[in-house]
Structure 1
Amino acid sequence: MDSDTCTVPDHFLPRKLSKQNLDRFIPNRSAMDFDFANYALTQGRKRNVDEITSASRKAYMTQLAVVMNQNRTRILAFRNKPKALLSSNHSDSPHQNPKSVKPRRYIPQNSERVLDAPGLMDDFYLNLLDWGSANVLAIALGDTVYLWDASSGSTSELVTIDEDKGPVTSINWTQDGLDLAVGLDNSEVQLWDFVSNRQVRTLIGGHESRVGSLAWNNHILTTGGMDGKIVNNDVRIRSSIVGTYLGHTEEVCGLKWSESGKKLASGGNYNVVHIWDHRSVASSKPTRQWLHRFEEHTAAVRALAWCPFQATLLATGGGVGDGKIKFWNTHTGACLNSVETGSQVCSLLWSQRERELLSSHGFTQNQLTLWKYPSMSKMAELNGHTSRVLFMAQSPNGCTVASAAGDENLRLWNVFGEPPKTTKKAASKNYLELFSHVNSLR
């Protein structure tokens, strides 16, 4: 073979393809470059093939890649990015939208503030703490009632009771938060005007012994005494007693009117809970006609809480020897659920925005427990008190909870989340910040 002449062997030239085999090789013969084929056989090793830039070569390689599916970077690849899933819960139906998952709320495990409350009586049957709708927290320490104005952060003394009448055994704000009822050990009840800081009335004659529980229903003040009687007082008239409920044989230690004011729940030392009809208030004669009588607890019942999102639902808690939280349908009288807590239940509070219940306890842990309703799974346990947590009160915005215990400490907890957003600057102040300069209520 002459060195100046290149002859391509026949077996290297493209064969003429039949129609049935055409799709298996090169569908477009016009794109073939015979000059390049001759060059590649003789001189191709001397240069990098990628350096060849002829138009016919590029067309050939592109066509070959398409036909032979050599663009492997697109294998199993989406043409467009898939839409992000709304949640991790997949639905079998393409028309059913998956539910969004609500982020879990952070619940601080420690109290935001601890205040000294010297003289706080360690008595399960009394009610010595209340937070009014005017944003004023009242607490009774021995013979004296102290007020903390959460709007200004100031602390003041409302009244000190004479020794022959005291100590203070119960306190409760009116629904407008302007007047405070103060129950005494000598069976009297005093009414105090918070704004003018003066006593406006004394109620006598309803009880023969100390008044340990109070509950307002508009202009009706209901009082519960150690004598087992429940007395309704119309504070607008001179002879205030307008009705008496008889059903407890021991001390009445818990009273709560429903939000509608149509039903009264009472808890007593003899392990009994009664539900009373508000229409009995109109009767001046003592009545034993309760709507329901619950006797399933095995210890005194002081903790009572009406549900804010289900009007007929009542939660009750039993003391030492019981330790259960029970839920009642007050329309039918049925017990809906009973939960063992393992310790004395001292008080109960419902969240105003979430389906949650907060309970305070005695021995052994002296803790506060936050429950998810209706599953009653524990969301958090709040520890810090060293004695039974007898009293709890909730701020008007429903976020902050004050707890008072036999260890003579008052603790503030941010347990129910942040307050609703508001445009008022004054309302944006945090209760705990306003309380930051106070270390003791005395």
Structure 2
Amino acid sequence: MTRSVVDYENLLENSFTDANKFIKTSIRPRWERKKLQQQEERRTLGTVIGGDRFIPNRAGMNMDLCKHLMRTSSSDSNEDLQKAVPDDVKAVSDDKKSMYASNLSSALLGVEDVKGSRIMSYQEKAPAPKGDTVNNLNILYSASAAAARQPKANAKLVTRQIPTAPSRILDAPDLMNDYYLNLISWSDTNILAVALGQTVFLWDAGSGDIQELCSFENGPNAHISSVSWVQQGGAHLAVGTSSGTTQLWDVQAGKQLRSMDGHTDRVGSLAWNRHILSTGSRDTTIVQHDVRVARHNTAVLNSHTQEVCGLAWSPDGEMLASGGNDNLLCLWDSAASARSGPRFRFTDHQAAVKALAWSPHERHLLASGGGTADRTIKFWNSHTGALLNSIDTDSQVCSLQWNPHEKEILSSHGYARNQLTLWKYPSMSKIKEFEGHTSRVLFTAVSPDGGTVMSAAADETLRFWDIFAPAHAKKTTHKEIYSVGSSSKTSWTTHIR
């Protein structure tokens, strides 16, 4: 049968060639193709074809040997494989491996001999030290020739010096000793608003001028319970009163623009979010006021069961944090209503939650501080509601302020030391403590440049600390301290009124 097929192919090729003398064809007879295939197999058996690292070349394989190795044990396979490969083939294979390793090291490392080279070293050796050096261990090498030519004074690292003493002290008579109120606010135009009893005073930190803005005389027990500057501009001030009304003042004109109701008891906390003013009261409610329209009450939030003493909007304006004397911390969406309720309601604190501060460095990071029975600072993820960390401060936490320049947070405390403590976040290791107040530090505020912290305590003093000042900031001299807003250059203590 095979012989007849071959004859048929030869006959077909001869007839095709005779009929087409001028047409060339690449079809060869079967016997010729078989002969060429056998010659090719004999030629490739003695040649090592490397192929690619990951794609083997089938033409360089001995298929009979492969089938034999598949049927034998693994221990005998290596011995049979070594015996089956001729010595000349082994030599060629070793040469190819050595050449491949040399090419790879040259392409990756820039050297051909990996064993004789130091890959974890600088290209150039350090300069030789001076011969007159007594102790070779004291020799310092520079990273570059240009840096080596710099004077030694420029080589010193710029470190941040945090003074432990206040740069200025102001007397604040009649400052109420009430943990649940918020009586100071520092505007972005560098004007400090302080509520003393029934009167609100404005102190210009640049010139030292003091101005009386308003007085709230509505009975012997009437008083100002909270103050808060509007964001961006500092031209308007919100003033909460003990009667439950909230006043809006034009500071430049010195007149009251409107009075907004909505509460039945004192307004102890205020927070701005653009044109929305949030007010928290001892009547346990939070009222949202749109100050642009006549009907300002846009929403009433109910979740707390006791006085709302802390309010803070997130930097992006998407979430409001509220703390109360019922030990609750609530997080509200910007579009929240009485029907929707808070997104999160935390009960981890064991005392009143007044101190609230949103991080300027990390989104959704909120810090909260508890009262005397709690004494902890807790950190929350407002997006997931997770408690990230909790640190015991051993004292009542009255207020919290983030450092806008560094990942640090400042806390003010009450009994027994009445100190301010600077913490490193997120390790919460103490950086420094600041003492000087003789009573609990109820309120704190940060200057517009983010360098100075003002603390107000029940000892009726306001103290200014350069805690957050950057390392490159110009240090204030004592002469400048005395001259700012003081009638006498011999004293650094001035009355706020």
Shorter-normalised TM range: 0.7 to 0.9
SS of match in other structure, 1:439: strand
Residue matched to 1:9: none
Residue matched to 2:295: 239
Residue matched to 1:268: 324
Q: Give the counterpart of 1:193 among 250, 253, 258.
A: 250
Deviation of 1:430 (Å): 7.1
Residue matched to 2:141: 83
In structure 2, the CA distance between the partners of 1:82 and 1:290, relative to structure 1 (3 Å rule), is closer
Q: How does 1:30-429 map to 2 (within 5 A)?
A: 83-84=141-142, 103-164=158-219, 166-175=222-231, 176-204=233-261, 206-280=262-336, 286-418=338-470
Verify the 8 A CA contact 1:167 1:184 in the aligned structure 2.
Answer: yes
Return the letter of the residue paired with 2:253.
S
Deviation of 1:104 (Å): 4.0
Alpha-carbon displacement from aligned partner over 1:179-220 (angstroms, at most 9, x marks no partner): 00000000011111111111001001x111000000011111
Verify the 8 A CA contact 1:317 1:326 in the aligned structure 2.
Answer: yes
SS of match in other structure, 2:373: coil
Q: What is the aligned residue count?
A: 344
Which of the pair has more CA radius of gyration?
2
Deviation of 1:432 (Å): 7.6
In structure 2, the CA distance between the partners of 1:82 and 1:226, relative to structure 1 (3 Å rule), is closer
Deviation of 1:152 (Å): 2.0
Runs of 4+ in 1 over 6 A off after TM superposition: 419-422, 429-432
Verify the 8 A CA contact 2:161 2:471 in the aligned structure 1.
Answer: no
Query: Larger relative contact order (C-alpha < 8 A, sep ≥ 6)?
Result: 1
Return the letter of the residue paired with 1:411.
R
Deviation of 1:261 (Å): 0.6
Q: Any gaps of 5 or more consecutive residues in structure 2? A: 1-130, 145-154, 488-492
Deviation of 1:151 (Å): 2.4
Identity %: 50
Deviation of 1:287 (Å): 3.2
Return the letter of the residue paired with 1:296.
D
Alpha-carbon displacement from aligned partner over 1:311-364 (angstroms, at most 9, x marks no partner): 200000000011000000000000000001000000000011111100000000
Verify the 8 A CA contact 1:150 1:431 in the aligned structure 2.
Answer: no
SS of match in other structure, 2:335: helix
Deviation of 1:83 (Å): 2.6
Deviation of 1:149 (Å): 1.1
Q: Any gaps of 5 or more consecutive residues in structure 1? A: 1-72, 87-99, 423-428
State the TM-score, normalized to the length of structure 2. 0.66
Residue matched to 2:74: none
Deviates more, 1:233-242 or 1:100-109: 100-109
Verify the 8 A CA contact 1:247 1:288 in the aligned structure 2.
Answer: no
More helix by share: 2
Residue matched to 1:30: none
In structure 2, the CA distance between the partners of 1:238 and 1:431, relative to structure 1 (3 Å rule), is farther
**RMSD between superposed Cα atoms in Å:** 2.5
In structure 2, the CA distance between the partners of 1:174 and 1:431, relative to structure 1 (3 Å rule), is farther
Return the letter of the residue paired with 1:340.
D
Equivalent-residue separation in structure 1 for 2:140 and 2:207 (angstroms):
55
Alpha-carbon displacement from aligned partner over 1:243-291 (angstroms, at most 9, x marks no partner): 11111000000000011111000000011100000022xx5xx235211
Return the letter of the residue paired with 1:397.
D
